[in-house]
Amino acid sequence: MSGLTAEVVIVGGGPAGLTAAIALASAGVETALVARAPTASDPRTSALLEGSVKALDALGVWQHCRQQAAPLRAIRIIDDTARLVRAPEVYFAASEIGLDAFGYNIENRFLIAALEARARELSALARIEDEAVAVESADEQVTVRCGRGSALSARLAIGAEGRRSLCRAAAGIDMRGRTYAQTALTFNLGHSRPHHDTSSEFHTAVGPFTLVPLPHKRSSLVFVVDPAEVADLSILSNAEMAAEIERRSHSILGKIEVEAHRGAFPLAVETAARFGAGRVALIGEAAHVIAPIGAQGLNLGLRDAATIGELVVGAHRDGHDVGKLTDRYDHMRRADATSRKLAVDLLNRSLLSDFLPLQGARAAGLFMMDRIGPLRRAIMREGVTPWASQPRLMRGEAL
C-alpha cells in the first residue's frame, strides 16, 4: 500500500457507509471512513428484513441493538382510499413462508449507535470525523480531500453520502428520477392496545399511512401527505396530532401518545445511471432513492454494502487491485435495485392515480394476492429474499 492511506476510503457515516466499513475492516481490509460529526439524530426507524438482520448479526452489530428491535411477524395492507374500486385487505404472515418474523423494526438512532460501537472495535478501520470536500479519481488511486485539510488516498472510494453524493458527482455519474408530490411525516408513538407484532399499512389516496411495531406498546408511523398539508399538520400540538393519528388509523391501536422528534422527508424516486465508475462505487441512497413503501430502501443499501464488501474482500485476498471492480459491482446490483424501484414506484403511483383502469389493476393484484396462496407466498419470499441478490453476508456467512 505504498503511498496510500488505506486500501478503501468510504465517504458517509450513515447506516450504509458504516455497514460497508465494518464488512471491510472486519475482514482485514485497511479502511478509512470519512464521516461528518452527527448533528441531530435521525428520527426514522428502519424495518430490516431477514437478510439484513443476518448480515448485521454476521458482522457483530446485531448483538449491540437487538434489545431495541421489535419483530415483524405479520403485515396488513388495508385499502383506505374510499374510491369506487377498492382492494380487499391483504394479510401476510411470516409463518406462511416458514419464518418466525419477516424482520425487525428499530429506531435509526439505536441502529447507528450499534454500528458505531462495532466500528470502534475494529483496528483496521480509521475514522476521520470531517466532511469530504473533493474527490479526485486517477488511474492508480483515488484521493478524498477533507474540510480540515487532510487528504486520504486509496485504491477505491465508496460513496455513501446519501442523496447529495460528492463521490457520485466526482465520478461524473448522473442521477435520474423525479420527486413525488408527497412528504413523509415520521412519528414514534405509544398506544393503549398491543400491535401483536403486526405492521399495518393503510393505503390512502395521497400515499401510505404505515404503523410499524416497536418494542412493547410502541410503534413508528410513516404518514405520507400532500406537501400542501405539511404546514397545517406541523402546527398541531402532540395531543391534537395524537387524535388525528387515532382517527386516521381507525383506533386499531387504541389511544395514541405522540413522542418527541417528528421528521419530514420529501419523497422521490432516483437512480444513479451507474453504481460505479473508475475507482468510485456508490452504495445506499447515493445510488438509489425510493419511496418508503414495503421497507425496501435501507435493505437495498445494506445489500449494496454486503456486495461491495464481498467483492473487495475477495480481490484483496487474491492480491488484486480492489479499485478495478466497479463495473462488476454495477452489474451485480442493477437488477435488484431496478426491480425494487419499479415495484415501489408502480404501487405508489397506482395509489395516487385517478385513472380508473390503474386503480382496477391495483385492486385486482391485491385481490389475487389475498386469494391465491402460492402467489402470496412467492411475493412474500421475493420481498424478504430477492432472487436477484443474496450476497454472502445476507445469508449469514462471514466474508
Residues that bind ligand FAD (CB under 6 A): 11-17, 34-36, 44, 46-47, 131-132, 160-162, 166, 184, 186, 222, 265, 284-285, 292, 295-299, 301
| Smallest gap from residue 367 Cβ to ligand FAD (A) | 26
| Smallest gap from residue 360 Cβ to ligand FAD (A) | 29
Cα–Cα dist 210/304, whole Å? 25
Cα–Cα dist 191/196, whole Å? 12
| Smallest gap from residue 220 Cβ to ligand FAD (A) | 8
- Among residues 127 and 279, whose Cβ is nearest to ligand FAD? 127
- The single residue listed with the C-alpha cell 405509544 is 190
- Among residues 274 and 359, whose Cβ is nearest to ligand FAD? 274
- Among residues 253 and 272, whose Cβ is nearest to ligand FAD? 272
- Among residues 57 and 321, whose Cβ is nearest to ligand FAD? 57
- Among residues 69 and 97, whose Cβ is nearest to ligand FAD? 69
- Among residues 172 and 254, whose Cβ is nearest to ligand FAD? 172
Decide the pairing of beta strands 156-159 and 8-11: parallel
Q: In what order do the strands lie in the sheet with 125-129?
A: 125-129, 31-35, 8-11, 156-159, 280-282, 276-277
| Smallest gap from residue 298 Cβ to ligand FAD (A) | 3
DSSP state of 84: S
The answer to whether 104 and 72 are in contact (CB under 8 A) is yes
| Smallest gap from residue 216 Cβ to ligand FAD (A) | 19
CB atoms closer than 10 angstroms to residue 264: 15
| Smallest gap from residue 150 Cβ to ligand FAD (A) | 12
Using the CB atoms, write b or e for 314-333: b if 16+ within 10 Å. ebbeeeeebbebbeebbebb
CB atoms closer than 10 angstroms to residue 105: 25
The answer to whether 125 and 20 are in contact (CB under 8 A) is no
CB atoms closer than 10 angstroms to residue 347: 18
- Among residues 153 and 299, whose Cβ is nearest to ligand FAD? 299
Q: Which amino acid is at 210?
A: T
- Among residues 244 and 270, whose Cβ is nearest to ligand FAD? 270
| Smallest gap from residue 131 Cβ to ligand FAD (A) | 4
- Among residues 36 and 76, whose Cβ is nearest to ligand FAD? 36
| Smallest gap from residue 47 Cβ to ligand FAD (A) | 4
- Among residues 44 and 341, whose Cβ is nearest to ligand FAD? 44
Kindly give the interhelix angle for 326-352 and 297-317, rounded to the nearest 10 degrees: 170
- Which string of DSSP letters, residue by residue, matches 43-69? --EEEEEHHHHHHHHHTT-GGGTGGG-
What's CA 271's distance to the chain center, in Å?
Answer: 14
- The single residue listed with the C-alpha cell 430502501 is 297
Supply angle C-alpha 35, 312, 173, rounded to 5: 65
| Smallest gap from residue 144 Cβ to ligand FAD (A) | 9
289 burial level (CB within 10 Å; 0-12, 13-18, 19+): buried
| Smallest gap from residue 18 Cβ to ligand FAD (A) | 8
Decide the pairing of beta strands 156-159 and 280-282: parallel
Strands (E), 160-306: 175-191, 198-204, 207-214, 218-225, 256-258, 263-272, 276-277, 280-282, 288-289
